[in-house]
Amino acid sequence: MYLTNGIRYVSPEFPGISTALFQTAGFECCRKYETFWGLTINYKKKGHSGTDGA
C-alpha cells in the first residue's frame, strides 16, 4: 500500500495503521493522508511537548 506522499507501508490493521506508522515516521501535524483504500486520515503528530494545537 502507498500513501499519497509515496511512502510505502504494510499493516494487517485497517483503521489503526495510521497512528503507529505516522508516529514512527514523524509526519507533520494535522496533515491529511489518503490511504490505499482512499480513506482520508487527519493525523496530529504527538510527542513534541505533550500537546498539539488543534
Per-position DSSP letters for 12-35, written without gaps between them: S-SSSHHHHHHHHHTPPTTEEEE-
**Which pLDDT score is estimated for 39?**
54
**Which pLDDT score is estimated for 54?**
45
Nearest to 45 by CA among 25, 33, 28, 24: 28
Q: Could you report the per-residue pLDDT of 1-47, keeping only the tens digit for each?
A: 444 444 445 444 444 555 555 555 555 444 455 554 445 555 555 55
**Which pLDDT score is estimated for 25?**
54
**Which pLDDT score is estimated for 17?**
52
Task: Find out whether 5 and 34 touch, Cβ atoms under 8 Å.
Answer: no
**Which pLDDT score is estimated for 4?**
47
**Which pLDDT score is estimated for 35?**
52
